[in-house]
Amino acid sequence: MKYSTFRTALLTFSGAALLMAVLSGSLFAADTIKLGVAGAHSGDLASYGLPTVKAAELVVKEINAKGGILGRQVELLVDDDVCKPEVATNTATKLVSQKVDVVIGHICSGATKAALGIYKDAKVIAISPSATNPDLTQSGQYPNFYRTIASDDTQALLEVNFAIDKLKVKKIAVLHDKGDYGKGLAEYAKKFIEESKKATVVLFEGITPGAVDYSAVVQKIKRSGAEAVIFGGYHPEASSIVSQMRKKDMKIHFISDDGVKDDTFIKVAQKYAEGVYATGPKDTSKNPLAIAAIEAHKKAYGADPGAFFLNGYAAAQAILAAIQKAGSTDYAAVGKALQTEFVETPLGKIKFDKRGDAIGVGFSMYQVRKGVYVEVK
């Protein structure tokens, strides 16, 4: 008897609490703009997701201090997807049921893909700071998707265009390390070279990472008559291959990716690194907005920001600026504003193309000169 009284009381209480939560939620909905932030906030990839949460907090704090957007305050709804597609669908459903206006996220490409369909049906725009899978924008399936990071294939395209237009090579050897990242990049490079019709792929091979010796593959490059090598992979293999090429007096160009644009590469390959080209994210260290954003992070959290912080910062700024310009949170109007209006962000002046990729964000070509990577203009 006593037990059931207790249970009734508990039920009544929780019912009341629930009602209050619903009421307060609906009260707020009238006058705040709800900005969802979804991504990996726990688990082993949390370090990729948390900086974006902090970036969104900083941007929103600044905007709210100035009176918000369209006279409304911005409210953050932060939700974790642990970088797993199956969790991301739940996260997305939850955010949609909480009636978010726009979402910043998700962080990982797989999770983003899983969540996008749900946002699309609910007519919610999602803007990711870090999902680089080319399909997300190129498939045309997700008109509600935007991102403030360049997709994987832009690096390959930059490498190929650089080789063909700047270095004027006709024969290119494409190598990769058989990994997801390196092989994906190499396959794009091959596709772009073939499509350009201005050069030919004379060799396309995967090498074994960590092998003691790459002389056979180097001989093969030599025999193929390649004038340039495009390598998709990381710096340990790149330094071995470059060293062996140079030791065999092969002076052909070596072009690689941001897995090689790492100072360890120069440290290990030493004099043989000289002249090697590698693509890497555009230099933002001199952008005053980037400097200010990093300073704000240091002041608020007492540490340097983590991965994709500036991309997250730019995403939050871009989406809120678009709402401001559109004059509402209407799906079509915000989408149009994202595609037509330039926004000043820490990544530079950006807007988005029809597919959702940011224009003005991307990679630059760097070359090792006198032991440091220098941007090639």
Site string for another protein, 160-189 (x = CB under 8 A): ------------------x-----------
CA 115/CA 44 separation, integer angstroms: 20
320 forms part of the interface with another protein (CB under 8 A):
no
151 forms part of the interface with another protein (CB under 8 A):
no
Query: What 8-state DSSP symbol labels residue 69?
Result: B
Distance of CA 303 to the CA centre of its chain: 22
CB atoms near residue 274 (< 10 Å): 15
What φ, ψ does residue 256 adopt, rounded to 5°?
A: -140, -165
Q: Which of 24, 139, 270, 340 binds another protein (CB under 8 A)?
A: 270
CB atoms near residue 5 (< 10 Å): 9
- Looking at the Cβ atoms of 118 and 207, the one nearer to another protein is 207
210 forms part of the interface with another protein (CB under 8 A):
yes
Using omega within 30 degrees of 0 as the cis cutoff, is the peptide bond preceding 106 cis?
A: yes
14 forms part of the interface with another protein (CB under 8 A):
no
CA 141/CA 227 separation, integer angstroms: 39
- Looking at the Cβ atoms of 166 and 223, the one nearer to another protein is 223
The answer to whether 351 touches 341, Cβ cutoff 8 Å, is yes
Name the minimum Å distance from CB 47 to another protein.
16
Name the minimum Å distance from CB 205 to another protein.
5
372 forms part of the interface with another protein (CB under 8 A):
no
Name the minimum Å distance from CB 207 to another protein.
5
Q: Which of 62, 205, 330, 344 binds another protein (CB under 8 A)?
A: 205
Residues in contact with another protein, counted by CB under 8 A, come to a total of: 28
User: Can you tell me which residue has the tokens 């090498």?
Assistant: 207
Task: Collect all residues with Cβ–Cβ distance below 8 Å to 138 and sequence separation of at least 6.
Answer: 151, 153, 355
243 forms part of the interface with another protein (CB under 8 A):
yes
Residue range at the interface with another protein (CB under 8 A); choices 146-154, 265-273, 351-359, 364-372: 265-273
Name the minimum Å distance from CB 218 to another protein.
8
By C-alpha distance, which of 272, 236, 237, 238 is closest to 255? 238
Which tokens belong to 356? 């959702």
Q: Which of 216, 300, 332, 376 binds another protein (CB under 8 A)?
A: 216
Helix axes 215-224, 235-247, angle to 10 degrees: 60
238: left (phi over 0), alpha (psi -120 to 50) or beta: alpha
Q: Which of 117, 179, 236, 360 binds another protein (CB under 8 A)?
A: 236
Q: β-strand 363-369 against 277-281: which pairing, if any?
A: antiparallel
Residue range at the interface with another protein (CB under 8 A); choices 2-10, 104-112, 163-171, 207-215: 207-215
122 forms part of the interface with another protein (CB under 8 A):
no
Residues in touch with another protein (CB under 8 A): 178, 205-208, 210-213, 215-217, 219-220, 223, 235-236, 239-240, 243, 247-249, 264, 267-270
